[in-house]
């Protein structure tokens, strides 16, 4: 009877103790979250409930499993202890990553709530995202290394591995040169503030918004919902356009090719009326001027402003569409024309053919 009760007591007591401690921790975090609404950290830490309970249960079982005097457990005592150790390391790593994520997200949320500059918010968001990925990668590497070192064979091979660490480091550096280059480029982007999540960029003639930045690649969402995935080293080695650098406000241009008789003063008045009825115009500035001329046409440039890249596109297409429609309806003579003449009915006679 004792051989049956002892495993039940040890396992059941471990489960009950884990549930009680987990409930108390969740209760305390919930109260702290209710008292400190301005700090989202306590609410985010509640996401750690599952890894906390798993790590706690595994730790209790790891310390008390040898007290179970039961045949199957005693026959596989070494393997069971090894398994519990591996699970404990994995659960601990999971818990550390969740805690680090909660701290990073809490810091970003508080900074975003207290800062009105969108550029700074995007910069901090990019930095904390990459910091979170770096921490997760480091914790994962340490956890895997700790798991491997629990095996006796790996501990025996540790001395020889350390002895050849220099050679292995050189070989790994040469083999992973591209990967390491992207890794350091990602860190340079994060802390060099050259491109941020949410920035409007033009890369290889493609206009889009930076959607994701990782340690190795960067994703750009184009205007037609395509995703351009590029290595981060591209942005540290080649030029690109960042329309959000220094502020989101933009100035756009609209070109018209018109006849020399185009009514420019009336066009300026019409441009002002079009912009007043366009919600995307930010009201900062506008202008209209002749920028070039040819024997048959003149080039008229309208300059408009907007608060960001999306609105400047809307303003440009609105001005272009309504101005052409107005010219066609009210001043058709201002549109470019091609002058043609009738072809002669017969070929002119040469001097030898003339009488």
50-104 tens-digit pLDDT: 888 888 888 877 776 666 655 555 565 666 777 888 888 888 888 888 888 888 8
Altogether, the residues listed in the chain come to a count of 355
CB 297 within 8 A of CB 222: no
Question: In the structure, what pLDDT confidence band is assigned to residue 185 with cuts at 50, 70 and 90?
Answer: low
Q: How far apart, in whole angstroms, are the C-alpha atoms of residue 308 and residue 311?
A: 6
pLDDT of residue 205: 79
* pLDDT computed for residue 25 by the predictor: 80
Q: CB-based contacts of 300: which residues, under 8 Å, 6+ apart?
A: 255, 256, 257, 258, 262, 264, 267, 288, 289, 290, 291
Token pair 């005592």 is at which residue? 77
| Span 193-219, average pLDDT | 80
Confidence of residue 268 (pLDDT cuts 50, 70, 90): very high
Please list, in sequence order, all residues whose beta carbon lies within 8 angstroms of the beta carbon of residue 153, skipping any fewer than 6 positions away: none
Q: Are 146 and 231 in contact (CB under 8 A)?
A: no
Average pLDDT rounded to a whole number, residues 271-278: 92
What is the average pLDDT value for the chain, to the nearest integer?
A: 76
Give me Rg for the CA atoms of the chain. 35
Across 20-29, 124-133, 239-248, 290-299, which has the greatest mean pLDDT?
290-299
- Tell me: pLDDT of 317 over 90: yes
Report the largest interatomic distance among the alpha carbons of the chain, rounded to a whole angstrom.
Answer: 140
**Residue with the two structure tokens 């115009």:** 281
Q: What percent of the chain has pLDDT over 90?
A: 14
pLDDT given at position 171? 47
Relative to beta strand 206-213, strand 217-222 is: antiparallel
Confidence label for 257 from pLDDT (cuts 50, 70 and 90): very high
pLDDT at 193 over 90: no
5 vs 82, higher pLDDT: 82
Q: Is 303:253 a contact under the CB 8 Å cutoff? A: yes
Q: For 149-184, what is each residue's pLDDT tens digit?
A: 777 766 655 445 444 444 445 444 444 445 555 566
How far are the Cα atoms of 32, 47, 52, 94 from residue 22, in angstroms, in the given order?
15, 12, 7, 16
Whether the Cβ atoms of residue 27 and residue 45 lie closer than 8 Å to each other: no
Residue 285 is classified by DSSP as E
Q: Sorting pLDDT into bands at 50, 70 and 90, what band is 255?
A: very high
Q: What pLDDT is recorded for position 191? A: 63
SS3 label, residue 207: strand
pLDDT > 70 fraction of the chain, expressed in percent and rounded: 72
Beta bridge partners of residue 304, listed in sequence order: 252, 286
């Amino acid at each position: 009877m004792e051989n049956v009760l002892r495993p039940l007591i040890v396992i059941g007591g471990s489960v009950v103790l884990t549930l009680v401690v987990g409930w108390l921790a969740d209760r305390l975090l919930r109260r702290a979250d209710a008292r400190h609404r301005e700090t989202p950290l306590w609410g985010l830490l509640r996401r750690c409930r599952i890894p906390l309970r798993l790590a706690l249960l595994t730790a209790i079982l790891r310390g008390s499993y040898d007290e179970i005097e039961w045949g199957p457990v005693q026959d596989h005592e070494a393997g069971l202890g090894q398994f519990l150790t591996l699970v404990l390391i994995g659960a601990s790593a999971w818990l550390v990553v969740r805690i680090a994520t909660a701290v990073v997200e809490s810091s970003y949320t508080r900074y975003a709530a207290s800062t009105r500059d969108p550029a700074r918010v995007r910069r901090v968001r990019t930095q904390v995202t990459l910091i979170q990925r770096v921490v997760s990668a480091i914790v994962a590497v340490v956890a895997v290394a700790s798991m491997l070192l629990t095996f006796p064979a790996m501990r025996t091979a540790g001395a020889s591995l350390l002895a050849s660490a220099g050679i292995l480091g050189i070989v790994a550096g040469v083999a992973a040169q591209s990967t390491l280059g992207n890794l350091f480029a990602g860190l340079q982007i994060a802390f060099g503030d050259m491109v941020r999540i949410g920035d409007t960029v033009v890369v290889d003639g493609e206009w889009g918004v930076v959607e994701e930045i990782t340690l190795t690649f960067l994703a750009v969402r184009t205007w037609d919902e395509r995703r351009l995935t590029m290595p981060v080293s591209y942005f540290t080695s080649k030029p690109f356009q960042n329309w959000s650098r220094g502020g989101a406000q933009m100035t756009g241009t609209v070109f018209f090719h018109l006849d020399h008789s185009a009514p420019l003063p009336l066009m300026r008045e019409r441009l002002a009326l079009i912009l007043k009825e366009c919600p995307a115009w930010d009201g900062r500035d506008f202008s209209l001027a002749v920028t070039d001329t040819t024997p048959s046409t003149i080039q008229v440039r309208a300059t408009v402003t907007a608060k960001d890249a999306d609105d400047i596109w809307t303003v440009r297409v609105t001005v272009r569409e309504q101005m052409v429609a107005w010219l066609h309806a009210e001043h058709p003579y201002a549109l470019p024309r091609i002058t043609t003449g009738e072809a002669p009915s017969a070929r002119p006679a040469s001097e030898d053919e003339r009488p």
